[in-house]
């Protein structure tokens, strides 16, 4: 294997997950076994596992091991006319949500400009949290919704 060993390892594990050979919740073999299996070093195995964890296919539990993600992560397409409901329904998921707050406040300059209102004019603000199949969003360490 060359300098891109980790990509081959990542692709191999991802194929096993996609084919069902590694079922949701299944534990991956320990690092030394993966190193032998792929004839690669620990650094390559760790990078492949880390990449799959970032993609939401694996979850690494300190002191317990690495597991196939039991709940698939939602793929959320962002565009000019993003719709929460359509994004989830297209993936066979049930959209739901809850209202966190509702109030009326003076429009800041950037909001007034975007809405074609006078600066300081009243605007309604709704804060909502969306769910997919009743599961609350999970925040990554950086604060982004996964």
- Mind listing the domains of the chain with CATH numbers? 5-68 (1.10.10.10), 96-132 (no CATH)
Q: Could you report the per-residue pLDDT of 6-20, keeping only the tens digit for each? A: 999 999 998 888 788
Cα 49 to Cα 16, 94, 119, 146, distances in angstroms: 13, 30, 50, 17
Asked whether the predicted pLDDT for residue 124 surpasses 90, the reply is yes
Return the H-helix or E-strand segment holding 12. helix 5-19
Residue 126 Cα to chain centre, angstroms: 24
Nearest to 72 by CA among 55, 86, 84: 55
What single string gives the DSSP state of each residue in 60-88? EETTTEEEE-SSPPP-----TT--HHHHH
pTM score over 0.75: no
Is it the case that residue 142 has pLDDT exceeding 70? Answer: no
3-state secondary structure of 135: strand
Under 8 Å between Cβ of 101 and 123: no
Q: CA–CA separation, 74 vs 87, rounded Å? A: 9
Residue where the block lists tokens 């939602």: 74
Which two structure tokens, joined as six digits, stand for 123? Answer: 């605007």
Average pLDDT score, the chain: 84
pLDDT value at position 144?
43
- Please give the DSSP secondary-structure letter assigned to residue 38: H
């Amino acid at each position: 294997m060359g300098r891109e060993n980790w990509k081959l390892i990542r692709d191999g594990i991802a194929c096993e997950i996609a084919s069902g050979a590694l079922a949701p919740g299944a534990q991956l073999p320990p690092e030394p076994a993966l190193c032998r299996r792929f004839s690669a070093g620990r650094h390559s195995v760790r990078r492949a596992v880390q990449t799959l964890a970032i993609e939401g296919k694996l979850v690494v539990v300190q002191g317990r091991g690495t597991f196939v993600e039991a709940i698939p992560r939602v793929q959320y397409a962002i565009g000019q006319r993003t719709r929460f409901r359509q994004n989830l329904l297209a993936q066979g998921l049930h959209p739901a949500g809850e209202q966190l707050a509702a109030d009326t406040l003076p429009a800041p300059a950037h909001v007034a400009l975007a809405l074609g209102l006078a600066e300081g004019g009243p605007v309604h603000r709704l804060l909502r949290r969306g769910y997919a199949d009743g599961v609350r969003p999970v925040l990554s360490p950086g604060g982004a919704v996964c």
